[in-house]
Amino acid sequence: MTDADTTTTATTDWQAWQESWDRQQEWYLPDREERFRIMLDMVEAVVGTAPRVLDLACGTGSITARLLARFPDATSTGVDLDPALLAIAEGTFAGDDRVTLATADLKDPDWPAKLPHDAYDAVLTATALHWLHREPLADLYGQVAGLVRTGGVFMNADHMIDETTPRINAAERAQRHARMDQAKRHGVLDWAEWWQLAAKDPVLAESTARRYEIYGEHADGDMPSVGWHARVLREKGFGEARPVWCSPSDTLLLAVK
């Protein structure tokens, strides 16, 4: 099923880890499920209900889980470099032949060779590509354009910052952090605390240590504007690109090949 380097699934509740990951991510992204819903709405609208999907920088497989729950005839290839998150994905989807997982570094020019297919109906990603700087991200968009079939879609839901509106940005950030602080007082785990728990799990400890060797605490990437993303996607081979959903801080950008 996978070429991800993972450990045994015998003694870990993978669904509990998925739910724990969801709660931690929702602390940062309270509208996370809404962006997933719109993403899948647009998959259905453009490529139908049985798509071949590439879950790019898949993490624990959050997109794949929601894809298959909504579209049982879909198939998904999840690709990531993080060994701990891939271990959770492997445990979650073990025995499901609709899912293939691959370990690859998206900054490696040869990463598409790790995939089982040369073309996909949809390439989907969320809250991941801000780990990349502009130049490698532009290169990645070119590779993605080569993987999306004609008429297929690419969607990226992520932080896309408009630097021309600093007062709006500051107000949004202050309100968001105030809400996060309130939730934290009620026991919500943040990023660092979640990873501390993973490091103590007997099954995830080794892969968590390896992911810190790869990434450190957090990668230092960019958050360019919506306009930058749309322009670069068109330059790299997509015919159309525009937002289909946004929150005060994030955008879901859809590009059609």
Residue, of 119 and 184, whose pLDDT is higher: 119
Q: What is the pLDDT of residue 4?
A: 46
Q: What is the pLDDT of residue 216?
A: 78
Rounded average pLDDT over 170-193 = 91
Q: What is the pLDDT of residue 173?
A: 92
Dihedral (C-alpha) 74, 79, 82, 84: value to the nearest 10 degrees? 30
Longest dimension (CA), the chain: 51
Sequence length of the chain is 257
Instruction: For 137-147, write each residue's pLDDT tens digit.
Output: 999 999 999 99
Contact criterion met (CB below 8 Å) for 224 and 138: no
Amino acid at 2: T
Instruction: For 62-109, write each residue's pLDDT tens digit.
Output: 999 999 999 999 999 999 999 999 999 999 999 999 999 999 999 999
Instruction: For 200-257, write each residue's pLDDT tens digit.
Output: 999 999 999 999 999 877 667 889 999 999 999 999 999 999 999 999 989 999 999 9
Smallest CA-to-CA distance from 60 within 84, 28, 96 is with 84
In terms of C-beta density within 10 A (0-12 exposed, 13-18 middle, 19 or more buried), how is residue 72 classed?
exposed
Q: What is the pLDDT of residue 219?
A: 64
Contact criterion met (CB below 8 Å) for 53 and 64: yes
Q: What is the CA radius of gyration of the chain?
A: 18
